[in-house]
Amino acid sequence: MENRFKINIVIPCFNEQEVLAESYKRFTKVLSSADFDYSLIMINDGSRDETFDILRSIAHNDKKVQVISFSRNFGHQNAVSAGLHNADGDAVVVIDADLQDPPEVIPNMVKLWRESGANMVYAVRESRKGESFVKLITAKMYYRILNMLSETRFPVDTGDFRLIDRQMLDTFKRFNEKHKYLRGLFSWMGYKQVPFYYKRDERFAGETKYSFTKMIKLASVGIFGFSKKPLKLAISMGSLCILFAFAIIIWMIWLNVCHPEKIVPGWSSIVFIVLFLGGIQLFTIGILGEYVGNIFDETKNRPEYIIQDKLNFED
C-alpha cells in the first residue's frame, strides 16, 4: 500500500473574523475527503479584530489546525514566509483566507503536481469575479511591465496561490533577504513549474486588505527586487536631458545669430529648463533611494517577523 503524503495549507489572516468560520468549514470539507494527509497553518498577522481568538478556538478543537500569531502586523508576504518556514509536509499550498481562491481546487492541483512531476503548480486566473475594471487592467499591466523590466520571466495573471514541493521549499528556506517578493523568488528559482487554470470567486465577506498603497508597495518590491533596469533608465534619462540641454543651447545660438528679433527677454524658458532638469534629477535620485533603502534594511538584519504564539506545533 502506497504511503500517504502530507500537504500543508498555508493561510495568512489579517482581520478576517468575518470569513474564518466559513473558510475553516470549506477547507476541512474538501481536505478531509482527500487521499492525502494535511494540516492548516493559519498565520495571524497582527490582526486588530477577533481573528486570533477565533483561530485559537478552532485550533483547540482541531489538532490539524496549527496557528502562528505575530506580535504585530508584519505584512502578507512575511506571514506567508512564516508558514513556509514552519511547514513539514511533502508540499505546501499557499492560499488566502478570503475564499476568492476556492479551496475546492486544491485536490486537483495536488493531482496535477503528482502526475506532472513538477516542483511547483502555480494557479492562473482565467476570470476574476467582483473586481473593478481598473484593478483588472492595472494587474494585467503590472505583470507585463515587470516582465519587460526584469531579467526573470514571471507568469502573468497569477498571485501567491500555488503549490510548492519540498525541494523548492527547502531552497526557499535558504533565502535570508528581508523584502521578499514570493512569486518573484519562486520564478527566479527555476525548477519545473506548470500552470493550473481556475476561475477566481468574489470575496466571501469583509473587505480586501490590499489597499492601493499596499499594492503599489508590493509592485515596487517586485520591480526593485528583480530588476536593475530602473538604474539604467535613470542613466538614459540623464543622457536624454544632456542632449536636450545641448539642443536648447544650439537653438538659442541660432536665434541670436540669425533671428535676434525673435528673442523675447524673460524667464519662462529658464524656468521650464530648470523645472525639467530638476524633475529628472529628483526622479533618478528617487530610483537610487529605493535601492539604497533596500540595502539599508538588509544591513540591519532584523527578523522578518516576530512570533508571539504558536498552537499545535511540536516543540
Task: Locate 226 and state its grid cell.
Answer: 528583480
Which pLDDT score is estimated for 183? 78
Which pLDDT score is estimated for 18? 87
Lowest mean pLDDT among 126-130, 163-167, 191-195: 126-130
What span, in angstroms and rounded, lies between the C-alpha atoms of 160 and 146? 16
User: Domain range holding 233?
Assistant: 229-300
Is the same domain home to 45 and 191?
yes
pLDDT tens-digit series, residues 74-92: 888 899 999 999 999 899 9
Give the SS3 label for residue 297.
helix
Highest mean pLDDT among 82-86, 247-251, 268-272: 82-86
Is the same domain home to 38 and 177?
yes
Is the same domain home to 166 and 273?
no
Is the same domain home to 25 and 148?
yes
Residue 47's domain is classified under what CATH number? 3.90.550.10
What span, in angstroms and rounded, lies between the C-alpha atoms of 314 and 70? 18
User: In 15-104, at which residue ranges do the beta strands (DSSP E only) sit?
Assistant: 37-44, 65-70, 91-94
Q: Provide mean pLDDT across the span 231-251.
A: 66
Greater model confidence, 267 or 137? 137
119 pLDDT tier (thresholds 50, 70, 90): very high
Is the same domain home to 98 and 162?
yes
Percent of the chain's residues with pLDDT above 70: 61
Domain count for the chain: 2
> Using the 8-state DSSP alphabet, how is residue 74 labeled?
-
Q: Residue 112, Cβ neighbours under 10 Å: how many?
A: 16
Task: Locate 180 and state its grid cell.
Answer: 521578499
Which residues, listed in sequence order, are joined to residue 13 by a DSSP beta bridge? Answer: 44
1 inside domain:
no
